A and B are shown apart, each in its own frame.
Chain A
Amino acid sequence: MADQNSNPTIPFDRIKLNVGGKLLETTVSTLQSGGPDSLLAALSNRPLHHDSNPIFIDRDPEIFSVLLSLLRSNSLPSAALRRFSLQELTDEALYYGVESRLRSASLPSPLRGIDAALVDTIRPAAEAVPSTFSAAEDGSLWIAHGGQISLYDSYLSYSTAVRTHLDDITLICRVWPDIAAVGSESSSGLHFYDLSSGRYAGSVHWTDQADPRIYKARVSAIANSPDSLFASFDCPHRENGVLVIDKSTLQVSSELARQSGTAAKNTVAGKLTWLPATGLVIGSAVTSGAFGYSGYIRVWDPRSRQVVWETNEPGSGRSSRFGDAFADVDVDADDLTLFKICSKSGDLAMADIRSLGEDPWVYMKDTNPSLRDTSCGRNNVILHCYRGQVFVGKDGGLEVWSREKPCQQVCESQTQSLRRNYVDKVEDAERGMIKRIEGGGQRLFVSREDVEGIEVWESSNYSGAVSVSS
């Protein structure tokens, strides 16, 4: 329980309030727990006279009593969200200056794939089939659809939309909290928009005076770092490369790699990740054709512009895994782990980025017979690492690989293994093929091919009991 209530009988810091005609009594320490800048803290600092009239606040008393409960117990009463919308509560909390307390109390529970449920579907008002989206650490969302970007705040309520000059947006990245970098498959260049003002802020194109093959380069992947952006560009004649863009000037600062994409192992990188711990950039590309999947993973050091490590599949790795090339790759940047999902077996493999060698992969077999994949030839596999878990979209199905808790006793095998579980239900999978998975805050966002809106998955400790008696 809250510390300020450990001694409830101390009389000297009691304070009387009259909110919209309702008399309330609380303590100065409770009011001050909203933060030093809050209106309530300011009120409580006024000189106190014990027999004085209560401090009058001309606001709604019902909402105030909810916010007072929040300050007293540090949790939002469950009944509050049934009586008031989160927007109402937020507006009122902003008035009293206790918005940060409301925000922390109304955050969803930690995202755990083994216990997550579909809580909402965010649908923009028009042209609601999202082409791509970007989620932020605070749980807010930018949805790109039909050439515009719709912004949703951390409560997932709509705030504004920005129309761009592009006809479709296939790539969106948060450069700064308000600056988005967008790219399109139908037109060249990487474009910057200030979403707070809705203004175009500039573009970057890949050009080379010496090489006529470099023209009309479109962006295919972006990675963000504190100082630079890394963007992979692809030309109509399959020349491709990774450019380093200075974030302060929004200009190209150097070229990291250039290759001619004549084979699968040098097509444009479809995924780029910057690792904060090492400063390395990891790029990967996967193409699928009649003969299955093929692709590469490449690690660059942007300081030396050298390839530090690379692997191509099929062609490298264990012979027992021949013909089982990866269908998608993702990087857990916090844990410095590389994950790939095998196209044929459906197994997940992980590699420690600190010790990448000839064959660094550790394969995770699915031990649960009831989860065994029956159909091998998957059309569409998407891998996304988030909060120490690996989310996998297979056609319409959503799965998660989660770490087992290590044994408190000494266990025979010290290797930590991952276990696979379904996040969704069978009927969820029938809604459509999963196109993109991204985590943000304690939420997982999922978009599906040709389906309007973005699904929001959250974990909750509410039981969600449904009454069936009549």
Chain B
Amino acid sequence: MSSFGMQCLETEPELNSNVVTINVGGQIFQTTKQTLTQGGPKSLLSQLAETTSKRFVDRDPDYFSLLLSLLRSGTLPSKVKDFDLHDLIEESRFYGLESLLNNSLTNPSHFDAFALQKSLILPLNGRDSPSTIATTPSGTVHVAHGSKITSFDWSLTRKSTILTQFTAVDSLLAISPDIAAAGATDFSGLQILDLQNGSVKQVLNWENVTRSGSTVQAIGSSSEFLFTSFESGRRNSNSIMVYDLNTLNPVTEIGHNEIFGADLDSAIPATKLRWVTGYGLVMASGSHSGLSGVSGNIKFWDIRSGNVVFELKEKDDCFSDVCVSDNLNAIFKVGVNSGEVFYTDLRSLGSVSDDANDNSNPWICLGNSRKVVNGKKEGYGCKIESHGNQVFCSKGGDIELWSEVVMGSAKISEGPLKERRVFRKNLMGRVKDLGGLRITNLAFGGNRMFVIRKDQQAVEIWQGSTRGI
């Protein structure tokens, strides 16, 4: 019982206007109005705090006591282990406290990359392996497998599956826990799907000149906009469309390329779109594998002006995957030939690209830079994603965790970036988790990391040990 409760026992409870007595299913609880209003003004308990009549709630008192602890201290008591999480969620919905519960259990600020361990497997029915995965900050996850999308709620206790028109979904982005944008490289149009009832809410199309339909190569979003990289069905033009995330009306078009000759560079559509919040730019990257090896480009677009702010052209050891970290002010890539992780500082990039004569390689290798590249594509299929202050890079069945070791922090923020920043890697997981099937996608949501692998009809959940559940 809290200190407020102790106070009220000494005085006459009903005289102390701050102390509230509630009868839940026959059991008497005493708490304060402040505690009851923790769940927000719309919650049932806030309304109860205001009533003057005798307070009675016809619900199970055991669950109420858990939720009352949550209101008092912000955390669940350890006895919650004896209860079913989904029952607790159902009960919290009744009281209007689900978001509070969600926040306490899967808060993104509780994400700790060093504490992540493989803890749950979510099986998928049928024979299709997952092709892509999308998450929301609350911890909801949507998995595309074959022509289906299965959604797991934030507690990962419930799921639902819908059938789409795609034979396979290649790009998926969660707009909200119930709405997702999906596209495929062999199907025209970006579909906005209602994941609750499986219906197509809207189809967004890019009208290309050849009118040959437009396939979706990548989807990205910021808090306001939805970005989609389209390529025409004849593969002779591509573009990035910007839509308003709420109304889904087109806002602008950036990077429209029509290919007329052998201009290889413009023929490459963006296959990854990421919003860089700190710079207000969209990162668009794409690569092409040809006779002379893999080449590609990484462009940073200002959507207001529609211009490329800076661009990295990739010829030698082109990226296999690339990501950008706001927190670390850096771009990271895995080289397709070397399979090593490279970084380049975002703050120095503007100056590099201005200087036309400076054709030095902006990338700094974090691994073995003297590795002999023997023509094998060692980085093929590797994925790299940043989350929080770390960078996660998958190599085969393993995940490398790269983190920066801050050495004399003052110099980095002030002085010129001559000094090399220090990044070190760790291999994630216990010995039994190493190896395994090739990782095809990594995603983050809530305090968890989601991993899907080739030929594995399941989603792996990596999370730190949560208190209580």
Contact = CB atoms under 8 A, between A and B. Distances in A.
Contacts of B90: 73, 75, 77
Contacts of B94: 1, 5, 73
A1 B93 contact: yes
Contacts of A368: 146-147, 167-168
A115 interface: yes
B252 interface: no
A78 B82 CA distance: 12
Interface stretch (A23-31, A157-165, A219-227): A23-31
A321 to B, nearest CB: 24
B198 A26 contact: no
B157 A463 contact: yes
Interface in B177-236: 197-203
A8 B57 contact: yes
A408 B27 CA distance: 50
Contact of B127 (A68, A73, A424, A468): A424
Contact of A466 (B60, B123, B201, B202): B123
A78 B158 CA distance: 11
A404 B93 CA distance: 32
A408 B84 contact: no
Interface stretch (B9-17, B148-156, B273-281, B304-312): B148-156
Given A9-B53, A405-B200, A421-B147, A467 B120 contact: yes
A65 interface: yes
Given A5-B59, A465-B157, A419 B147 contact: yes
Contacts of A112: 161
A77 B198 contact: no
A464 B122 contact: yes
Contact of A468 (B59, B84, B118, B202): B118
Contact of A78 (B87, B156, B202): B87
A421 B126 contact: yes
A79 B59 CA distance: 16
A8 B56 contact: yes
A421 B84 contact: no
Q: Which of B55, B117, B167, B168 has the most CB of A within 10 A?
A: B167
A27 B159 contact: no
B435 interface: no
A105 B59 CA distance: 17
B125 interface: yes
A114 interface: yes
B437 to A, nearest CB: 15
Contacts of B123: 117, 464, 466
The B interface, classified by DSSP as helix, strand, loop or mixed, is mixed
Contact of A405 (B56, B118, B160, B198): B198
A209 interface: no
Contacts of B55: 9
B148 A16 contact: no
A121 interface: no
Given A69-B60, A421-B126, A469-B118, A26 B25 contact: yes
Interface residues of A, number: 59
Contact of A369 (B51, B87, B167): B167
Interface in B106-142: 117-123, 125-128
A10 B125 CA distance: 46
B213 to A, nearest CB: 11
A367 B201 CA distance: 23
A25 B120 contact: no
Given A24-B25, A367-B167, A469-B119, A421 B128 contact: yes
A251 interface: no
The A interface, classified by DSSP as helix, strand, loop or mixed, is mixed
A465 B59 CA distance: 28
A25 B23 contact: yes
A117 B119 contact: no
B201 A11 contact: no
Interface size class of B (residues with CB under 8 A): 35 or more
B424 interface: no
Interface in A1-59: 1, 4-5, 8-11, 14, 16-17, 23-27, 30
A425 B127 contact: yes
A358 B125 CA distance: 40
A335 B167 CA distance: 26
A409 B26 contact: no
Nearest to A10: B56
B157 A405 contact: no
A325 interface: no
Interface in A383-421: 402, 404-409, 419, 421
Interface in A90-120: 112, 114-117
A424 B56 CA distance: 49
B126 A422 contact: yes
Contact of B200 (A117, A408, A426): A408
A85 interface: no
A181 B157 CA distance: 43
A423 interface: yes
A408 B201 contact: yes
Contact of A407 (B87, B167, B200): B200
A468 B125 contact: no
Contact of A114 (B120, B161, B461): B161
A78 B84 contact: yes
B346 interface: no
Contacts of A27: 58
A9 B50 CA distance: 11
Contacts of A1: 93-94
Nearest to B148: A114
Nearest to B150: A115
Interface string B22-43: 0101110000000000000000
A257 B338 CA distance: 76
B141 to A, nearest CB: 10
Nearest to B85: A78
B168 A405 contact: no
A467 B125 CA distance: 17
A30 B159 CA distance: 29
A409 B193 CA distance: 12
A375 interface: no
Interface in A423-470: 423-426, 461-469
Q: Which of A25, A26, A370 has the most CB of B within 10 A?
A: A25
Contact of A11 (B44, B53, B160): B53
Given A9-B48, A30-B58, A409-B202, A117 B159 contact: no
Contact of A72 (B51, B58, B153): B58
A88 to B, nearest CB: 17
Contacts of B197: 405
A82 interface: yes
A14 B121 CA distance: 45
Nearest to A367: B167
Contact of A9 (B56, B128, B147): B56
A467 B466 CA distance: 14
Nearest to A417: B165
A146 B121 CA distance: 41
Contacts of A468: 118-121
A381 to B, nearest CB: 18
Interface string B54-76: 11111110000000000000000
A101 to B, nearest CB: 16
B56 A14 contact: yes
A117 B122 CA distance: 13
A467 B119 contact: yes
Closest 4 CB pairs of A and B: A25-B26, A115-B161, A79-B84, A469-B119
26 contacts: A1-B93, A8-B59, A9-B51, A11-B54, A16-B26, A23-B26, A25-B26, A26-B25, A68-B60, A115-B126, A115-B159, A368-B167, A368-B168, A369-B167, A370-B146, A370-B168, A371-B146, A404-B163, A405-B162, A405-B197, A425-B127, A463-B122, A464-B159, A465-B121, A465-B156, A467-B119
Given A1-B93, A408-B202, A467-B119, 13 more contacts: A8-B59, A24-B26, A25-B25, A78-B86, A78-B157, A79-B83, A114-B126, A114-B163, A115-B160, A369-B167, A422-B126, A425-B126, A465-B157
